[in-house]
Structure 1
Amino acid sequence: MSLSAKWALGGVIAGSAAAGLLGAGSSALALYFARRVITPAKGREEDQEVLAVIREGRGLQIILAATADATVDGVYGLFFDGGRGHARIGRILSYSPAERTVLREVEAVYSGDIATARRGWWSGAVYPDPAAIGVPAEEVQIEVEGGSAPAWLVRAEPATGIWAIMVHGRGASRQECLRAVRPARDLGLTSLVISYRNDGLAPSAPDGRYGLGSTEWRDVDAAIAFALANGATEVVLFGWSMGGAICLQTADLSRYHHLIRAMVLDAPVVDWVNVLAHHAQLNRIPSAVGRYGQLMMSHPLGRRLTGLAAPVDLKSMDWVSRAVELRTPTLILHSVDDEYVPYGPSASIAEKNPEMVTFEAFQGARHTKEWNVHPERWEALVGAWLRQQLAPRNNPGAAPAHAAGGS
Structure 2
Amino acid sequence: MAKRSTGLRVLGTTVAAVGIVAGAIAVVTAVATAFATVVFARKVVTPQAKRDDDVRIVGVDLAAGRITLAASDESRMHGRYGLWFEGDSGHARLADVDEERGGVVIRGIDAVDYGRLDRARRGRIDGWYFLGPWELDLPYRDVVVQTPLGPAPAWSVPAAAPTDRWVVQVHGRGAKRHEALRAVPPVHEAGWNSLLISYRNDGEAPESADRRYGLGGTEWEDVVAAVRFATARGAREIVLMGWSMGGMIALQAVLRSEEAREHLVGVVLDSPAVDWVDILRFQGTALGLPAGLGDLVAGVLGAPVGVGLTGAAAPIDLVALDLVARSGELATPMLLMHSTDDGFVPIDGSRRLAASRPDLVQFEEFTGARHTKLWNHDPERWTRLITAWLATRSGGAPADAAGEGDAEIVG
Distance (Å, rounded) in 2 between the aligned partners of 1:84 and 1:142: 29
**Structure 2 residue 371 is matched with structure 1 residue 364:** no
Question: Residue 30 of structure 1 is aligned with which of 26, 37, 40?
Answer: 37
Indicate how the Cα distance of structure 1 residues 23 and 94 shifts in structure 2: closer, same or farther if over 3 A, else same. Answer: closer
Indicate how the Cα distance of structure 1 residues 229 and 391 shifts in structure 2: closer, same or farther if over 3 A, else same. Answer: closer
Percent same amino acid among aligned pairs?
43
Which residue does the alignment assign to 2:273?
A: 269
Indicate how the Cα distance of structure 1 residues 55 and 285 shifts in structure 2: closer, same or farther if over 3 A, else same. Answer: closer
* SS of aligned partner of 1:262: strand
User: Following TM superposition, by how much is the alpha carbon of 1:231 offset from its aligned partner in structure 2, in angstroms?
Assistant: 2.3
Distance (Å, rounded) in 2 between the aligned partners of 1:274 and 1:88: 33
Question: Residue 264 of structure 2 is aligned with which of 260, 276, 300?
Answer: 260
Which residue does the alignment assign to 2:16?
A: none
Kept in 1: contact 2:281–2:292 (CA 8 A): no
**Structure 2 residue 119 is matched with structure 1 residue 112:** no
Question: Residue 290 of structure 1 is aligned with which of 294, 309, 314?
Answer: 294
Alignment of 1:325-340 (within 5 A): 325-340=329-344
* SS of aligned partner of 2:227: helix
Distance (Å, rounded) in 2 between the aligned partners of 1:271 and 1:119: 33
User: Following TM superposition, by how much is the alpha carbon of 1:301 offset from its aligned partner in structure 2, in angstroms?
Assistant: 3.4
Question: Residue 143 of structure 1 is aligned with which of 141, 146, 149?
Answer: 146
Alignment of 1:69-108 (within 5 A): 69-96=74-101, 99-108=102-111
* SS of aligned partner of 1:199: coil
Q: Which has the higher contact order (CA 8 A, sep 6+)?
A: 2
Distance (Å, rounded) in 2 between the aligned partners of 1:94 and 1:25: 43
Which residue does the alignment assign to 1:122?
A: 125
* RMSD of aligned alpha carbons: 1.9
Distance (Å, rounded) in 2 between the aligned partners of 1:378 and 1:332: 11
Distance (Å, rounded) in 2 between the aligned partners of 1:53 and 1:24: 46
Alignment of 1:168-179 (within 5 A): 168-179=171-182
Kept in 2: contact 1:50–1:117 (CA 8 A): yes
User: Following TM superposition, by how much is the alpha carbon of 1:383 offset from its aligned partner in structure 2, in angstroms?
Assistant: 1.2
**Structure 2 residue 206 is matched with structure 1 residue 203:** yes
Deviations along 1:229-285, one digit per CA (max 9) or x if unpaired, are: 122222111111111111110111122212121111000011111001111111222
User: Following TM superposition, by how much is the alpha carbon of 1:86 offset from its aligned partner in structure 2, in angstroms?
Assistant: 1.7
Kept in 2: contact 1:163–1:234 (CA 8 A): yes
Which residue does the alignment assign to 2:5?
A: none
Task: Report the number of matched residues.
Answer: 371
* SS of aligned partner of 1:257: helix
Kept in 1: contact 2:238–2:266 (CA 8 A): yes
Question: Residue 46 of structure 1 is aligned with which of 46, 49, 53?
Answer: 53
* SS of aligned partner of 2:320: helix
User: Following TM superposition, by how much is the alpha carbon of 1:22 offset from its aligned partner in structure 2, in angstroms?
Assistant: 7.9
User: Following TM superposition, by how much is the alpha carbon of 1:222 offset from its aligned partner in structure 2, in angstroms?
Assistant: 0.9
- The TM-score normalised by the length of structure 2 is 0.86
User: Following TM superposition, by how much is the alpha carbon of 1:286 offset from its aligned partner in structure 2, in angstroms?
Assistant: 2.2
Indicate how the Cα distance of structure 1 residues 20 and 389 shifts in structure 2: closer, same or farther if over 3 A, else same. Answer: farther
The one-letter amino acid of 2:39's match is Y
Kept in 2: contact 1:27–1:289 (CA 8 A): no
* Structure 2, gaps ≥5 residues long: 1-25, 398-411
Kept in 1: contact 2:237–2:264 (CA 8 A): yes
User: Following TM superposition, by how much is the alpha carbon of 1:20 offset from its aligned partner in structure 2, in angstroms?
Assistant: 9.9
Deviations along 1:197-246, one digit per CA (max 9) or x if unpaired, are: 11111111111111000011111111111111122222111111111111
Kept in 2: contact 1:221–1:250 (CA 8 A): yes
* Structure 1, gaps ≥5 residues long: 1-18, 394-407
Distance (Å, rounded) in 1 between the aligned partners of 2:117 and 2:148: 38
Which residue does the alignment assign to 1:5?
A: none
